[in-house]
């Protein structure tokens, strides 16, 4: 199992890798069917990750424009951490 990545850039790379696997002319019908099922699952998860990113972005734009409260404290879920 590969390492799980946590950026939208990594997600983009995974999606392109998935496309490359689906485009492999050497896949048997069984392998292609397996890749298609895998791709369907990855697509569903990816859509949720993208929606979550969009929501966080909208929240940050709102906070940047209007502030959150007196301390301009960001909810923990929306914090951006540099690790």
- For residue range 35-59, list pLDDT tens digits in order: 999 999 999 999 998 998 888 888 8
Paired tokens of 13: 């790379």
Paired tokens of 77: 């879920």
The model carries a pTM of 0.64
Residues sharing a CB contact under 8 Å with residue 41, sequence separation 6 or more, in sequence order? none
Helices in the chain by DSSP H: which ranges? 8-22, 29-66
Residues sharing a CB contact under 8 Å with residue 75, sequence separation 6 or more, in sequence order? 68
How far apart are the C-alpha atoms of 58 and 46, rounded to whole Å?
A: 18
Write the pLDDT tens digit of every residue in 22-37.
999 999 999 999 999 9
């Amino acid at each position: 199992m590969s390492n799980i990545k946590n950026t939208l850039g990594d997600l983009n790379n995974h999606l392109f890798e998935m496309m490359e696997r689906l485009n492999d002319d050497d896949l048997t019908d069984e392998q292609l069917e397996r890749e298609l099922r895998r791709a369907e699952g990855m697509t569903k998860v990816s859509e949720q990750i993208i929606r979550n990113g969009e929501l966080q972005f909208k929240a940050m734009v709102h906070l940047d424009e209007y502030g959150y409260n007196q301390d301009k404290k960001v909810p923990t879920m929306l914090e951006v951490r540099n690790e």
